[in-house]
C-alpha cells in the first residue's frame, strides 16, 4: 500500500461479507475509525471489537439518514464512505421474474443513492470528503445470466460519471470501484468458470490503494478489465459472436 491513509472516519455498507468486510477490517487495522453497516446485526458483531456496528437496510432512505446521524454523532464527520451493499442472483432466461430485477435495482442502485443523499450534503457543506461505491466490471458489457445484476452496476458507473464534475467543485471526491470476479458468498452461486478469480482480501487491498490515490475508477484485475473494455468497443455482431462462443460455449 504505497499511498498513505488520509481518512479519520470511514463508513462501509455491505460490510458483513466479501469486499466490504475486508475493506472495513483493513482500514480499522490501519487506524481508521470505522462504522460498518449491513442488514445482519449478528454478522456485524462477528467482525469483532473496534468497529461501530450500525445495522441498516439501505433500501430505506430515512434509515440511511438516521445511520449517518448516529455515526457522525459518535465518531465524528465521515470523510470516506465505501458503499458496497449489494445482492446478486443469476437470471434464468426461461423463468424471468420482474421482482428479481426490482429487488436488485432497489438494493444495488437505490441503496447507494439513499446513502449518497444522506451523506453528500454534509460533505459538501464541509468542503471535503470521499464518496465511493462498489459497481462491477459487469457494468461494462451485457453478459449472460447477469440481466438483473449488470444493469444495476452499469447504472452505478453512470451515476459516478454524472456526479463527479459537480461534486468535485464542492471539494468532495467520487470513486467507482469495479471489481472482476471475487470469491464471495454471492459469486459462489455461479455455475460457470470465473476468469481471474480473486480473493476478497486482495480485492479490498486494491480498492483501498485506489481510493488513497484519489482515482475516479478503480478497476481490477487489469487483464480482465482490458478484455471487457475491448469487447465493449467491438461492433455488436462480433461482440455477440465472441460472447456466444466464450461464455455460452456455443458453436
Domains of the chain plus CATH, in order, are 9-246 (3.40.50.720)
| Catalytic residue positions, numbered | 149
Contacts of 102 (CB under 8 A, 6+ apart): none
* Cell 459538501 found at: 124
Closest CA to 112 of 35, 43, 14, 205: 14
Q: Is 5 exposed, middle or buried (0-12, 13-18, 19+ CB in 10 A)?
A: middle
- pLDDT tens, 83-114? 999 998 889 888 899 999 999 999 999 999 99
pLDDT on residue 144: 87
CA distance 201 to 183: 9
pLDDT on residue 245: 84
180-188: Cβ within 8 A, 24+ apart: 180/136, 180/137, 180/220, 180/221, 180/224, 180/225, 181/224, 182/18, 182/19, 184/17, 184/18, 184/19, 185/17, 185/18, 186/18, 186/86, 186/87, 186/88, 187/88
Query: Sign of the C-alpha dihedral, residues 190, 137, 57, 81?
Result: positive
pLDDT tens, N- to C-terminus, the chain (251 residues): 446 689 999 999 999 999 999 999 999 999 999 999 999 999 999 998 899 999 999 999 999 999 999 999 999 999 999 999 999 888 988 889 999 999 999 999 999 999 999 999 999 999 999 999 999 999 999 988 899 999 999 999 999 999 999 999 999 999 999 999 888 777 667 666 777 788 999 999 999 999 999 999 999 999 999 999 999 999 999 999 998 887 766 43
**187-197 in b/e burial notation, b at 16+ Cβ within 10 A?**
eeeeeeeeeee
Residue 120 contacts residue 114 (beta carbons within 8 Å): no
pLDDT on residue 203: 95
C-alpha cell at 72: 457522525
User: How distant, in Å, are the alpha carbons of 5, 119, 150, 182, 187 from that of 211?
Assistant: 9, 18, 23, 18, 24
Amino acid at each position: 500500500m504505497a499511498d498513505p491513509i488520509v481518512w479519520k472516519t470511514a463508513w462501509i455498507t455491505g460490510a458483513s461479507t466479501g469486499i466490504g468486510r475486508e475493506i472495513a477490517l483493513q482500514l480499522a487495522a490501519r487506524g481508521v475509525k470505522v462504522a460498518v453497516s449491513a442488514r445482519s446485526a449478528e454478522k456485524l458483531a462477528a467482525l469483532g471489537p473496534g468497529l461501530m456496528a450500525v445495522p441498516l437496510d439501505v433500501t430505506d432512505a430515512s434509515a440511511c439518514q438516521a445511520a449517518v446521524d448516529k455515526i457522525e454523532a459518535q465518531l465524528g464527520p465521515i470523510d470516506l464512505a465505501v458503499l458496497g451493499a449489494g445482492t446478486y442472483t443469476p437470471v434464468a432466461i426461461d423463468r424471468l421474474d420482474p421482482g428479481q430485477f426490482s429487488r436488485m435495482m432497489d438494493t444495488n442502485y437505490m441503496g447507494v443513492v439513499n446513502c449518497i443523499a444522506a451523506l453528500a450534503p454534509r460533505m459538501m457543506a464541509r468542503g471535503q470528503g470521499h464518496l465511493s461505491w462498489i459497481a462491477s466490471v459487469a457494468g461494462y458489457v451485457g453478459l449472460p445470466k447477469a440481466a438483473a445484476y449488470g444493469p444495476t452496476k452499469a447504472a452505478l458507473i453512470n451515476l459516478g460519471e454524472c456526479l463527479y464534475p459537480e461534486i468535485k467543485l464542492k471539494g468532495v471526491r467520487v470513486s467507482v470501484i469495479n471489481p472482476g470476479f471475487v470469491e464471495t458468498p454471492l459469486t459462489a452461486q455461479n455455475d460457470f468458470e470465473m476468469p481471474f478469480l480473486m480473493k476478497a482480501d486482495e480485492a479490498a487491498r486494491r480498492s483501498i490503494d485506489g481510493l488513497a490515490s484519489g482515482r475516479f475508477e478503480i478497476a481490477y484485475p487489469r487483464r480482465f478489465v482490458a478484455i471487457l473494455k475491448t469487447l465493449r468497443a467491438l461492433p455488436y455482431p462480433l461482440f455477440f459472436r465472441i460472447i456466444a462462443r466464450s461464455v455460452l460455449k456455443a458453436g
